[in-house]
């Protein structure tokens, strides 16, 4: 047997035997490509199988573990899917639950009890986004460093869970502004940080399906928040001398804090984080590092002129920014639907919170199906 050297230290070890043939999901013969060795670790996912027909894409929606992957890689992926994916989905779910509860509370009695007027409702979002803007870049710089990557998100979620509890004592618009600013500050890593971690463990052709599942957890959070506010108003309004909208913040905090604490024990950071998380073996971590190195991931470097030039000279950056701005504009409009429903004067508090959840239900279906067509 001879080996052929490839770029980036990859070696392909051809065999004298005929390649194994098996049937793919569509029932067609599928050759198993030769594995690739990266720094002494076999990376079967680096060998690309032949392209699939776009007309058969629907067959691969739930094919998360391609047939040419080795047993070791499939086992690693299943570990990641059982641990990282549920954890960051839970965190993103909580992020949206805690972020959107102000909308439900405002339209379920907060406005009248605190005598809120004019543009104060819109300023709640403004102060939240100011906090988000302040923390975004520092947070990503911390998460991209292996030394801190394991701890940033659990710490931030613990802090925003505490703030969620405190919001049950909101008594004025200025206090809400301050709470919303702090919520935006500490919720920052739940979105961009989670996506960064996903793309640090999953190869570029694996991450789409997981990212779709991760993203719809935000829709589930917003939808669940509507049902929870409706239930709180119906069953807890007046209990303990508090209005139903105040109970929502307490319930959200009770849900959020255990997930934040679990993050300290389960969150893995990035593949180069040291010490490694307990549920990954040393072999798992080496395989994860080899997989991502083969996929093009490199060690983080200091920000300098050359790096900034590389970023700002690529057209992808501007397309991504413009697309996301437009997307956020549409989600903001959807968030105002609850205000319009209340303004009609035709619905109970329970229905005011339940009716807008239909938009989120549709988004869940689309968010899972569309990314799954990436094969």
Sorting pLDDT into bands at 50, 70 and 90, what band is 59?
low
| Cβ atoms < 10 Å from Cβ of 200 | 22
Can you give the pLDDT at residue 78? 94
Do 194 and 56 sit in the same domain of this protein?
no
**Quick check: 204 pLDDT over 80?**
yes
362 contact partners, CB below 8 Å, separation of at least 6: none
Q: In angstroms, rounded to a whole number, what is the distance separating the alpha carbons of residues 163 and 183?
A: 7
In a domain, 312, yes or no: no
Report the pLDDT averaged over residues 202-228.
86
Do 42 and 190 sit in the same domain of this protein?
no
**Quick check: 255 pLDDT over 50?**
yes
Do 214 and 282 sit in the same domain of this protein?
yes
Do 23 and 156 sit in the same domain of this protein?
no
Can you give the pLDDT at residue 70? 85
In a domain, 305, yes or no: no
Do 117 and 178 sit in the same domain of this protein?
yes
Do 334 and 195 sit in the same domain of this protein?
yes
Can you give the pLDDT at residue 300? 65
Sorting pLDDT into bands at 50, 70 and 90, what band is 11?
very low
% of the chain beyond a pLDDT of 70: 81
List pLDDT tens digits, range 319-341: 988 998 888 887 777 677 888 88
List pLDDT tens digits, range 97-138: 888 888 888 888 899 999 998 889 889 989 999 999 999 989
**Quick check: 39 pLDDT over 70?**
no
**Quick check: 5 pLDDT over 50?**
no
Q: Which tokens belong to 229? A: 């506010």
Sorting pLDDT into bands at 50, 70 and 90, what band is 8?
very low
Report the pLDDT averaged over residues 72-80.
92
**Quick check: 214 pLDDT over 80?**
yes
**Quick check: 242 pLDDT over 80?**
yes
Can you give the pLDDT at residue 18? 45
For 358, the domain range is: 73-299+317-372
Do 164 and 233 sit in the same domain of this protein?
yes
Can you give the pLDDT at residue 292? 87
Structural domains of the chain, count: 2
List pLDDT tens digits, range 275-302: 889 999 999 999 998 888 887 777 766 7
Report the pLDDT averaged over residues 78-100.
91
Convert the chain into a string of H (helix), E (strand) and C (coil): CCCEECHHHEEECCCCCCCCEEECCCCCEEECCCCEEECCEEEHHHCCCCCCCHHHHHHHCCCCCCCCCCHHHHHHHHHHHHHHHHHHHHHHHHHHHHHHHHHHHHHHHHHHHHCCCCCHHHHHHHHHHHHHHHHHHHHHHHHCCHHHHCCHHHHHHHHHHHHHHHHHHCCCHHHHHHHHHHHHHHHHHHCHHHHHHHHHHCCCCCHHHHHHHHHHHHHHHHHHHHHHHHHHHHHCCCHHHCCHHHHHHHHHHHHHHHHHHHHHHHCCCCCCCCCCCCCCCHHHHHHHHHHHHHCCCCCCCCCCHHHHHHHHCCHHHHHHHHHHHHHHHHHHHHHCHHHHHHHCCCCCHHHHHHCCHHHHHHHHHHHHHHHHCCC
Do 133 and 167 sit in the same domain of this protein?
yes
Report the pLDDT averaged over residues 207-223.
86
Average pLDDT, the chain: 82
Do 122 and 244 sit in the same domain of this protein?
yes
């Amino acid at each position: 047997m001879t080996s052929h050297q490839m770029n980036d230290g990859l070696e392909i070890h051809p065999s004298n035997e005929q390649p194994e043939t098996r049937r793919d999901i569509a029932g067609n013969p599928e050759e198993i490509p030769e594995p690739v060795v990266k720094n002494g670790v076999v990376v079967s996912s680096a060998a690309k199988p032949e392209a699939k027909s776009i007309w058969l894409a629907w067959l691969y929606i739930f094919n998360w573990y391609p047939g040419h992957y080795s047993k070791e890689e499939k086992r690693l992926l299943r570990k990641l899917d059982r641990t990282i994916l549920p954890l960051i989905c839970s965190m993103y779910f909580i992020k949206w639950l805690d972020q959107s509860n102000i909308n439900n509370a405002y339209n379920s009695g907060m406005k009248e009890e605190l005598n809120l007027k004019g543009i104060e409702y819109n300023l709640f979002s403004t102060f939240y986004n100011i906090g988000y803007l302040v923390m975004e870049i520092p947070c990503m710089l911390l998460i991209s460093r292996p030394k801190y990557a394991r701890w940033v998100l659990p710490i931030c979620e613990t802090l925003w869970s505490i703030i969620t509890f405190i919001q049950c004592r909101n008594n004025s618009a200025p206090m809400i502004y301050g709470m919303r600013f702090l919520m935006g500050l500490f919720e920052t890593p739940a979105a961009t940080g989670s996506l960064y971690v996903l793309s640090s463990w999953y190869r570029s052709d694996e991450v789409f399906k997981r990212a779709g599942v991760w993203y719809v957890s935000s829709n589930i959070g917003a939808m669940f928040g509507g049902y929870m506010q409706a239930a709180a108003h119906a069953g807890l309004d007046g209990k303990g001398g508090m209005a139903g909208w105040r109970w929502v913040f307490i319930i959200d905090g009770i849900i959020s804090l255990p997930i934040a604490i679990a993050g300290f024990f389960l969150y893995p950071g990035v593949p180069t984080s040291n010490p490694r998380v307990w549920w990954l073996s040393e072999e798992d971590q080496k395989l994860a590092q080899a997989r991502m190195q083969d996929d093009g991931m490199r060690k983080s470097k200091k920000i300098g002129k050359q790096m900034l030039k590389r970023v700002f000279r690529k057209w992808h950056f501007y397309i991504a920014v413009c697309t996301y701005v437009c997307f956020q504009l549409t989600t903001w409009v959807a968030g105002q639907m609850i205000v319009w429903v209340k303004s009609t004067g035709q619905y109970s508090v329970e229905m005011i919170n339940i009716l807008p959840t239909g938009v989120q239900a549709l988004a869940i279906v689309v968010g899972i199906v569309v990314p799954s067509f990436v094969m």
